[in-house]
Amino acid sequence: MSAPEPSVDAPARRPRRELVEAEIYEQATRLFAERGFAGTSLQDIADAMGMTRPSLYYYVKNKDQLLARLVTEITEAPAAATEEIAGRDADAPTKLRDLVRLIAGQQAQHAARFRLVIRSESELPDDLAVAHEAAKRRVLDGFARIVDQGVRSGEFRPRPVRTTALALIGMCNWVAWWVTPAGPQTPAEVAEQMAEMAIALVAQAPDRTPDAPRPDDPAAALRLLRQDLDYLESVITTQTSKD
């Protein structure tokens, strides 16, 4: 793709500028994935665009600017969305379903970009590395808040909140490593299935009575644990008798 030497950034030219910037971003992302961030130069990106390096400087200042856009898209934007969902006035299952649908859907939609960010973590400039880690902590905090809400309301099983949140995030992130663009399911379908699986992972057992004490009550939590131990004992006893 060839781009003319730019002169004046007039309003009429802005749509054209946006198209060129989007193409530069796509080419840079592809090259980062193929060669790594450190192994890709601005000249490589200019060559891929079919433009001179001085022309490229009109659209981007340096590689860090392109990488910052990628990090923002993959980590900071989802962090902001996570905080918004966690803060909604809704029940925990609804929040969790919406959040997993969002995160898993993004991983399915932008799998290659997510993998690139993960692989490039050690190469991120200091300021981007700090922002990236902060965004990941915000996502974890949002998941943890929702899980804690569900445990306290009795809608989720009383399990360690942070461990459960990490498991849910890992389940969502893993989508980027197995989904394929030509797969049998659309990103939206994958996201919907992951949301239902997340609920099934944390939901309170269906045989819990609606009027049972809240699981954040220590006595209630102990009672639920005894029920689980009784079930486990019955499984072991049945298996032993078969053997």
* Cα separation, 139 vs 75, whole angstroms: 9
The pLDDT score that the predictor gives to residue 13 is 52
The model's pLDDT over 53-97, given as tens digits with 9 standing for 90+, comes to: 999 989 998 888 888 888 888 899 999 999 999 999 999 999 999
The pLDDT score that the predictor gives to residue 231 is 58
- From 41-45, 113-117, 225-229, the region with the lowest mean pLDDT: 225-229
For the chain, give the secondary structure using H, E and C: CCCCCCCCCCHHHHHHHHHHHHHHHHHHHHHHHHHCCCCCCHHHHHHHHCCCHHHHHHHCCCHHHHHHHHHHHHHHHHHHHHHHHHCCCCCHHHHHHHHHHHHHHHHHHCHHHHHHHHHCHHHCCHHHHHHHHHHHHHHHHHHHHHHHHHHHHCCECCCCHHHHHHHHHHHHHHHHHHCCCCCCCCHHHHHHHHHHHHHHHHECCCCCCCCCCCCCCHHHHHHHHHHHHHHHHHHHHHHHHHC
The pLDDT score that the predictor gives to residue 196 is 95
Q: Are 118 and 208 in contact (CB under 8 A)?
A: no
The model's pLDDT over 191-233, given as tens digits with 9 standing for 90+, comes to: 999 999 999 999 987 655 444 555 556 666 666 667 667 656 6
List Cβ neighbours of 111 (8 Å cut-off, separation of 6 or more): 175, 176, 177, 179, 181
* Cα separation, 59 vs 131, whole angstroms: 23
Q: Tell me the C-alpha to C-alpha distance, in Å, between residue 202 and each of 87, 172, 234.
A: 19, 14, 22
The pLDDT score that the predictor gives to residue 51 is 93
Q: What is the DSSP letter of 184?
A: S
Q: Are 165 and 147 in contact (CB under 8 A)?
A: yes
Looking at per-residue confidence, does 95 or 121 come out higher?
95
Question: pTM for the whole thing?
Answer: 0.73
- From 56-60, 109-113, 124-128, 221-225, the region with the lowest mean pLDDT: 221-225
Residue 111 has which token pair?
A: 């799998």
* Cα separation, 215 vs 205, whole angstroms: 12
Percent of the chain past pLDDT 70, that is, above it, reads 78
* Cα separation, 184 vs 188, whole angstroms: 12
